[in-house]
Amino acid sequence: MSDRRDFIKKAALGTIGISSVLSCNTASTAIIPTVQPTKKAVKPLIISTWNHGLPANDETWKQLKNGKSAIDAIEAGMRIPEADPKVRSVGYGGFPDREGKVTLDACIMDHNSDCGAVSFLQGIKHPISVAKNVMQNTPHVMLSGDGALQFALSEGFKEENLLTAEAEEDWKKWMEESKYKPVINMENHDTISMLVIDKDGNISGGCTTSGAAWKMHGRVGDSPIIGAGLFLDNEVGGAASTGLGEAVIRTAGSAMVVELMRQGKSPLEACKEIVERIYNKHKNHRDMEYLQVGFIAINKNGEHAGYSLRSGFNYALTDEAEGSRMEDATFKMSWEEWKIN
Ligand code: SD4
């Protein structure tokens, strides 16, 4: 309880975004089957991780306004950072693995809990589109590696080199020492995860990433795994993650956030509890040195939040009233606090 009081005090001091404060409601901890719509939901509404979420949200918004389905709109939005070589953690131009190969993970999920994913996909610029095709054109949820590539080619996708000259240069520099130490809040670029409530109040989402830079060849992160990098239940809400995928997989992060919202927690409370859980489980873990995780979440009321372990995480928010803007996520500890402890 004192923790919660602290949290609210911090909010009052302005360390958390206004919308986050609003979503920190006084919901009881009693278990109820779904989030009850107590007020008019804000819809459509889009949230997505990091600054590269802004142009993605804008495209998704445009597509929704043009009458496209949420899934098509999410795909269109996610293709923007995927194609942008300046975004070094997604798609074309993303940091390669330690063998100099760009390998991509993505997933997409609709309000009927239908979903598609690709992991360890190489040579295809738009893994989010391949994930959508896996969902719509196969009996499966996830295709991986060469199988995912063969499927993409059979669907008409073009194979191309995704390693830009800049990424190759960075890889060569990294090879000089070959130390695996993920860089947290990498220039404010990381996985893009997106959650949407469409005009009918239905929730969908997607994730796409080139994963952790300098990972082992074949490593798959949380982002394409339904329940880890992304999860939603249209009766309740949705959640998605960014950060060190191993920690999110170990804790089934996004599924747990949604489950806590089902039990009556606000998006902020749910994200905070799971980040705390991840922290507690990793306190003495080798990953702790560079552990960063962050979640975004929305519920059926249109309440939304972002919460991360360390400072520096933010998310893009788009709605009718105010257009697109960035919200700072609340966090457990600043970098300074971390160094002191
Ligand atoms: C992953 N969550 O693959 C993703 C993105 C990432 O550091 O690597 N972030 O783990």
Instruction: Answer whether residue 36 shows pLDDT above 70.
Output: no
Q: How remote is the CA of residue 65 from the centroid of ligand 1, in Å?
A: 31
Hey, which CATH number is domain 4-340, 3.40.50.150, 3.40.50.300, 3.30.70.1070, 3.60.20.30? 3.60.20.30
Query: 127-137 vs 70-83: helix axis angle to the nearest 10?
Result: 150
Atom index in ligand 1 nearest the CA of residue 190 equals 9
Cα gap 178→190, rounded to integer Å: 21
**pLDDT digit string, tens, across residues 283-319:** 888 888 888 999 999 999 999 999 999 999 999 999 9
Query: Catalytic residues, which ones?
Result: 191
Query: 267-282 vs 253-262: helix axis angle to the nearest 10?
Result: 140
Q: Is 219 annotated as a binding residue?
A: yes
| pLDDT score, position 183 | 64
Q: In whole numbers, what is the pLDDT of the chain averaged over residues?
A: 87
Atom index in ligand 1 nearest the CA of residue 105 equals 3
Q: Which residues of 252-271 are buried (b: 16+ CB within 10 A; e: fewer)?
A: bbbbbbbbbbbbbbbbbbbb
**pLDDT digit string, tens, across residues 261-289:** 999 999 999 999 999 999 999 988 888 88
**So where are the chain's domains?**
4-340
Pocket of ligand 1 (CB under 6 A): 182, 190-191, 209, 211-212, 221-223, 242-245
Residue 104: how many other CB atoms lie within 10 Å: 30
3-class SS letters over 89-147:
CCCCCCCCCCCCCCCEEEEEECCCCCEEEEEEECCCCCHHHHHHHHHHHCCCCEEEHHH
- List the Cα angle 83/153/52 in 5-degree steps: 15
Which 8-state DSSP code applies to residue 283? Answer: T
* Residue to mutate, 95, 120, 191, 194, ligand 1, most ligand atoms under 8 Å from C-beta: 191
Q: Is 222 annotated as a binding residue?
A: yes
Q: How remote is the CA of residue 189 from the centroid of ligand 1, in Å?
A: 10
**Residue 232, SS3?**
strand
| Residue whose token pair is 């060569």 | 172
Would you state the structure tokens that stand for residue 101, as one six-digit string?
């190969």
Cα gap 143→118, rounded to integer Å: 5
Which is nearest to 205 in space by CA: 87, 40, 315, 322? 315
Cα gap 265→36, rounded to integer Å: 11
Which 8-state DSSP code applies to residue 28? Answer: -
| pLDDT score, position 189 | 52
Q: Is 220 annotated as a binding residue?
A: yes
Q: How remote is the CA of residue 204 from the centroid of ligand 1, in Å?
A: 21
Q: How remote is the CA of residue 185 from the centroid of ligand 1, in Å?
A: 10
| pLDDT score, position 99 | 96
Cβ-Cβ contacts under 8 Å for 67 (sequence gap 6 or more)? none
Q: Which helix (DSSP H) or strand (DSSP E) does residue 48 occupy?
A: strand 45-49
Cα gap 9→284, rounded to integer Å: 29
Cα gap 28→25, rounded to integer Å: 9
How does residue 67 score in pLDDT terms, banded at 50, 70 and 90?
very high
**pLDDT digit string, tens, across residues 110-149:** 999 999 999 999 999 999 999 999 999 999 999 999 999 9
Find the mean pLDDT for residues 187-199. 84
Q: What CA dihedral angle connects 273, 276, 282 and 287, to 10 degrees?
A: 100
| Model confidence pTM above 0.75 | yes
* Residue to mutate, 244, 248, 282, 292, ligand 1, most ligand atoms under 8 Å from C-beta: 244
Sign of CA dihedral 244, 246, 252, 255: positive
Residue whose CA is closest, atom 10 of ligand 1?
245
Q: Is 245 annotated as a binding residue?
A: yes
